[in-house]
């Protein structure tokens, strides 16, 4: 769709964010991510990490500056256009509690393309095909089909839930995956295994990754690492 | 995945709280519709207390007053109609039938009506239903009595029982017509009208028990036995009121005017429908009070739902953030909560209707027998209106947590605040 190397996946220019009702301002460095690139962002809490992710996902809007995704400046879109756009390009993984407990694991995965006709189409032409793709993804992430089919979402372990979350983020092949400390609830062994599976699937889909964590040990898995909050320019200005 | 199934699954997950909310709504809808049903049916029952009668005639007073003492047996007549006048009315060419009513005696607080057997033929209530007997038949002997359903139920009477009437309405034991006891000949089926609380005897019987009385006092030293009374002339000299049926309803006003202008005696003829309407107007405030109370009950039910939705909102921030992350707009989040409250209200309303239907179906006969209330099984048109109003209210109530979630999801972004 977008030729590799020509248009950056994400680029931020002169980003500034002012919280409504307060004087605190967050200024962020310019940065860009190439299609398929894996970027590690190290950000301690309070570094404006959540705000940056909100801006990248288009759920928040910058006070100044511009976020451009796939060549589209987000500020040119209306709120509902941004919502549609987000559904198309972005897969998002939360720190934990990623799943809706009242949906089955497979339904949770399919939720990833519920608001995106493009991703739904890419995942499969029929509901059965989409379901099969969801099961394939889960299988690739190391979840046995039997387990997924049989168990309730609530009875999955944290590691299993995070894998279902990855499957949801990746179904229909979005261009960008944002992971907000998805490994913080996992122990070291399962953390590395989880990360390998995650990155392997992203490579397979050609999906670019912005991975946020405070654990610098993970940086070695990525093409590039950057730190939020260490920069003099990305501090909170009261 | 559409919004409806998402909302449904989410509700199913929280089924205990949701069930309580639905039950709260169901109970308030049940109460609202129940009160409305009772109100409408009581009014209908009331206005059809006398349905086949064209005119009620009594001594001149007010229309409501006449109706109260002649039909509802409340209060006392100011004056009587002479027997001759009654005969004159009876003889009018437009008049098809008349039923005399002679009041003034009682039995354990229930009024005694002296009348003729025409009463059982011509008296109609509700949808022109005639009186019917559950036991026995109309009176034939001088000392026969027919009791209403309520009288029989409260005093445990059956056909063949002997009763003694009391003079006047106070039920004082000193003024019993103990020398002339009556035998119960028949028991009427419940009607939901004042007839249920009435004891009917013949006009001649009223004369017979009063042969030794003048001006409300027993004449000292005179004791005509029950048997010897049978051989006396028992033609009444006066009656309290009479019901009149006409050959044609068209002549109602002409006959009414003729009676009101009767030269020999001050009479009043009223159209029962008109007078009943006036009377209902008097008790209309009680009606509005009932409505106000049930409206408040619905508001309480709705705020219960609102509380439940708002309380659940905090636990659901995560759910909202996930939905936002997969591309749902803030409006979708809003819509989700409105759909939820609509589902809850609709379920509650349906359950409330079902509850009302069940209770009316089960309690129909009991209510008729014990409260004199005839309830319809089918909802009235005003109930549909109320039901729509409740559901609209539910949708509006959902807009409150909806807009909170909407605003939050804009502020929170993709953060999960717990």
Closest CA relative to residue B302, chosen from B385, B392, B402? B392
**Residues contacting B374, CB < 8 A, separation 6+:** B41, B44, B45, B126, B192, B367, B368
A22 within some domain: yes
Rounded Cα distance between B8 and B344, Å, is: 10
Closest CA to B306 of B227, B392, B401: B401
Query: Which among A50, A53, A112 is the nearest to B326, CB-wise?
Result: A112
pLDDT at B171 over 60: no
Whether A236 has a pLDDT exceeding 70, the answer reads: no
Closest alpha carbon within chain B to A120: B1
Shortest alpha-carbon distance between residue B397 and chain A (Å):
24
Interface of B with A in 277-336 (CB under 8 A): 318-319, 321-322, 324-332
3-state helix, strand, coil in chain A (%, to 5): 45, 20, 35
CA distance A26 to chain B (A): 16
Decide if B9 and A103 are in contact by the 8 Å CB cutoff. yes
Q: What is the pLDDT of residue A238?
A: 33
Residue B115 confidence (pLDDT) above 90: yes
Kindly determine whether residue A57 and residue B415, on different chains, have CB atoms separated by under 8 Å. Answer: no
B14: nearest CA in chain A? A102
3 state DSSP class of B214: strand
Residue A125 belongs to what domain range?
Answer: 10-237
pLDDT at A152 over 70: yes
DSSP state of A233: G
CA atoms within 13 A on the CB side of B278: 12
Segment B235-254 shows an average pLDDT of 91
| Chain A residues bordering chain B (beta-carbon distance below 8 Å) | 20, 50-51, 53-54, 57, 59-60, 79-80, 83-84, 86-88, 90, 92, 94-95, 97-103, 107, 110-112, 114-116, 168, 180
Q: How far is CA B39 from the centre of its chain?
A: 7
Give one DSSP letter per residue of B66-126, joined into a string.
HHHHHTS--S--S--EEHHHHHHHHH-TTEEEEEEEEEEEEETTEEEEEE-THHHHH-EET
Percent of chain B, pLDDT > 70? Answer: 96
Confidence of residue B187 (pLDDT cuts 50, 70, 90): very high
Over residues B117-130, the mean pLDDT reads 88
Record: contact A54-B413, CB cut-off 8 A:
yes
In a domain, A5, yes or no: no
Tell which of B13, B15, B326 to mutate to test the A interface (max A CBs under 10 Å).
B326
Of A59, A80, A94, the CB nearest to B416: A94
Contacts A110 to B, Cβ<8 Å: 1
CB-CB under 8 Å, A57 with B328: no
pLDDT value of residue A1:
40
- Phi, psi torsion values for B107, nearest 5 degrees: -145, 110
Q: Pull the structure tokens for residue A165.
A: 């979350």
Region B28-46: what's the mean pLDDT? 85
Give the closest of B318, B325, B411 to A92, CB-based: B325
User: What is the C-alpha separation between B309 and B342, in angstroms, rounded?
Assistant: 12
Strand, coil or helix: what is B188? strand
Q: What is the mean pLDDT of residues B212-225?
A: 73
pLDDT at A231 over 60: no
Task: Tell me which chain B residue has its CA closest to the CA of residue A110.
Answer: B1
Mean pLDDT of B4-8: 87
- Shortest CA gap A60–chain B (Å): 6
Segment B378-396, tens digit of pLDDT: 888 888 988 998 899 888 8
User: With 60 as the cut, is the pLDDT of residue B56 above it?
Assistant: yes
The residue behind tokens 């992430």 is A141
Give the DSSP per-residue string, A131-156: HHHHHHHHHHTT--HHHHHHS-GGGS
The helix (H) or strand (E) run that includes residue A92 is strand A90-93
Residue A6 has pLDDT above 50, yes or no: yes
pLDDT at position B413 is 67
Contact predicate B39/B375, CB 8 Å: no
A95, A102, A111 ranked by CB distance to B326: nearest: A111
Identify the pLDDT of residue A233. Answer: 40
Q: In the predicted model, is pLDDT for residue A149 greater than 60?
A: yes
**Cβ <8 Å between B322 and A94:** yes
ipTM for this prediction? 0.84
pLDDT for A185 beyond 70:
yes
CB contact under 8 A, A92 and B319: no
Average pLDDT of the segment spanning B55-74: 90
Please name the member of B318, B328, B414 whose beta carbon is closest to the beta carbon of A53: B414
Pairs across A and B, CB distance < 8 A: 77
Give the confidence band of B172 by pLDDT, cuts at 50, 70, 90: low
Distance CA A176, CA A42 (A): 18
Name every chain A residue with its beta carbon within 8 A of the beta carbon of B331: 80
Residue A221 lies in a domain: yes
Q: Is residue A4 domain-resident?
A: no
DSSP codes of every residue in B382-417: HHHHHHHHHHHHHHHHHHHHHHHHHHHHHHHTT---
Query: Which of B245, B275, B260 minimizes the C-alpha distance to B119?
Result: B245
Domain presence at residue A2 = no
pLDDT-based confidence at residue B417 (cuts at 50, 70, 90): low
**pLDDT at position B281 over 60:** yes
Task: Name the DSSP class of B59.
Answer: E
In a domain, A158, yes or no: yes
Structure token pair of residue B383: 């109930």
The CATH code of the domain that includes A166 is 3.40.50.300
User: Is the separation of the CB atoms in B192 and B126 below 8 Å?
Assistant: yes
With a CB cutoff of 8 Å and minimum separation 6, the contacts of A127 are none
- Of the candidates B13, B322, B324, the beta carbon closest to that of A59 is on B324
Tell me what the mean pLDDT of segment B221-233 comes to.
79
Closest chain A C-alpha to B411 CA, distance in angstroms: 8
Residues whose CB falls within 8 Å of the CB of residue B33, separated by 6 or more in sequence, listed in order:
B352, B353, B356, B379, B383, B386, B387
Please report the sign of the dihedral spanned by the C-alpha atoms of residue B336, residue B340, residue B346, residue B349: negative
Query: Both tokens of residue B161?
Result: 């029982």
Indicate yes or no: CB of B413 within 8 angstroms of CB of A51: yes
Q: Residue B228 — very low, low, confident or very high, per pLDDT cuts 50/70/90?
A: confident
CB A64 within 8 A of CB A237: no
Under the banding of pLDDT at 50, 70 and 90, the label for residue A2 is very low
- In the prediction, which pLDDT does A113 show? 87
Please count the other Cβ atoms lying within 10 Å of the Cβ belonging to residue B351: 17
Q: CB A87 to CB B327 under 8 A?
A: yes
pLDDT in tens, B286-336: 888 888 888 888 888 888 888 888 887 877 888 888 888 888 888 888 998
Both tokens of residue B63? 């229309």
Residue among B13, B411, B416 minimizing CB distance to A102: B13
Statement: residue B148 has pLDDT above 90: yes
Give the integer Cα–Cα distance in Å for A122 and A130: 9
> Average model confidence (pLDDT) for chain A?
83
pLDDT-derived band at B239 (thresholds 50, 70, 90) equals: very high
**Which residue on chain A is closest to B316 by alpha carbon?**
A100
With respect to residue A190, please indicate whether it lies within any of the assigned structural domains. yes
Mean pLDDT calculated for residue range B266-277: 89
Contact check, Cβ <8 Å, B411/A20: yes
In this predicted structure, what is the pLDDT of residue B260?
A: 93
Closest CB to B1 among A94, A101, A114: A114
Identify the pLDDT of residue B193.
87
- B329 vs chain A: nearest CA distance in angstroms? 5
At how many degrees (to 10) do helices B330-371 and B317-325 cross? 130
Summary mean pLDDT of chain B: 86
Q: What is the pLDDT of residue A12?
A: 85
**Average pLDDT, integer, range B37-45:** 83
Instruction: Give the pLDDT confidence of A21-73 residue by residue, as tens digits.
Output: 777 777 877 888 888 899 998 877 666 777 888 888 888 888 888 888 888 88
Number of structural domains found in chain A = 1
CB contact under 8 A, A116 and B327: yes
């Amino acid at each position: 769709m977008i030729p590799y190397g020509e248009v950056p996946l994400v680029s931020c220019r002169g980003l500034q964010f002012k919280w409504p009702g307060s004087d605190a301002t967050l200024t962020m460095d310019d940065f860009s991510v190439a299609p398929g690139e894996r970027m590690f962002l190290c950000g301690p809490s309070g570094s404006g990490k959540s705000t940056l992710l909100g801006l990248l996902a288009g759920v928040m809007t910058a006070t100044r500056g511009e976020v451009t995704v796939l060549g589209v400046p987000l500020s040119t879109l209306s709120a509902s256009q941004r919502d549609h756009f987000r559904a198309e390009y972005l897969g998002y993984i939360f720190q934990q509690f990623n799943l809706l407990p009242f949906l089955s694991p497979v339904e949770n995965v399919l939720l990833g393309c519920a608001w995106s006709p493009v991703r739904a189409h890419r995942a499969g032409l029929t509901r059965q095909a989409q379901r099969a793709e969801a099961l394939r993804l889960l299988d690739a992430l190391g979840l046995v089909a039997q387990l997924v089919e049989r168990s309730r979402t609530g009875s999955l372990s944290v590691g299993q839930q995070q894998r279902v979350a990855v499957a949801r983020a990746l179904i229909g092949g979005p261009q960008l995956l944002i992971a907000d400390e998805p490994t913080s609830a996992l122990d070291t062994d399962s953390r590395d295994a989880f990360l390998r599976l995650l990155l392997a699937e992203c490579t397979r889909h050609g999906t670019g990754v912005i991975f946020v964590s405070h654990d610098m040990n993970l940086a070695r898995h990525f093409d590039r690492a950057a730190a939020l909050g260490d920069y003099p320019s990305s501090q909170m200005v009261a | 995945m559409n919004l409806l199934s998402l909302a449904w699954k989410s509700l199913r997950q929280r089924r205990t709280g949701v069930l309580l909310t639905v039950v709260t709504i169901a109970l308030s809808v049940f109460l609202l519709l129940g009160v409305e049903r009772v109100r409408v049916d009581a009014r209908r029952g009331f206005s059809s207390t006398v349905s086949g009668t064209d005119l009620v005639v009594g001594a001149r007073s007010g229309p409501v007053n006449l109706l109260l003492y002649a039909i509802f047996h409340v209060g006392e007549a100011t004056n009587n109609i002479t027997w001759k006048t009654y005969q004159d009315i009876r003889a009018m060419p437009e008049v098809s039938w008349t039923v005399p009513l002679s009041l003034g005696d009682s039995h354990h607080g229930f009024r005694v009506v002296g009348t003729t057997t025409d009463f059982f033929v011509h008296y109609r209530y509700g949808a022109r239903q005639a009186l019917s007997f559950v036991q026995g038949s109309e009176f034939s002997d001088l000392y026969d009595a027919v009791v209403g359903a309520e009288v029989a139920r409260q005093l445990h009477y059956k056909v063949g029982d002997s009763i003694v009437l009391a003079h006047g309405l106070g039920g004082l034991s000193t003024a019993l017509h103990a020398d002339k006891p009556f035998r119960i000949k028949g028991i009427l089926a419940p009607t939901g009208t004042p007839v249920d609380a009435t004891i009917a005897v013949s006009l001649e019987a009223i004369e017979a028990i009063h042969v030794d009385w003048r001006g409300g006092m027993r004449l000292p030293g005179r004791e005509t036995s029950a048997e010897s009374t049978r051989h006396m002339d028992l033609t009444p000299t006066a009656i309290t009121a009479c019901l009149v049926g006409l050959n044609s309803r068209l002549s109602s006003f002409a006959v009414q005017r003729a009676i009101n202008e009767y030269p020999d005696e001050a009479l009043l003829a009223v159209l029962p429908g008109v007078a009943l309407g006036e009377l209902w107007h008097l008790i209309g405030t009680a009606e509005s009070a009932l409505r106000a109370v049930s409206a408040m009950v619905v508001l309480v039910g709705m705020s219960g739902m609102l509380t439940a939705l708002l309380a659940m909102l905090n636990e659901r921030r995560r759910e909202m953030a996930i939905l936002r992350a997969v591309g749902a707009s803030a409006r979708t989040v809003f819509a989700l909560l409105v759909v939820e409250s609509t589902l809850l209200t609709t379920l509650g309303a349906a359950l409330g209707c079902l509850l009302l239907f069940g209770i009316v179906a089960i309690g129909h006969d009991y209510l008729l027998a014990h409260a004199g209330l005839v309830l319809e099984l089918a909802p009235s048109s005003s109930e549909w209106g109320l039901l729509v109003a409740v559901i609209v209210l539910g949708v509006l109530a959902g807009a409150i947590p909806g807009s909170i979630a909407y605003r939050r999801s804009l502020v929170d972004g993709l953060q999960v605040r717990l």
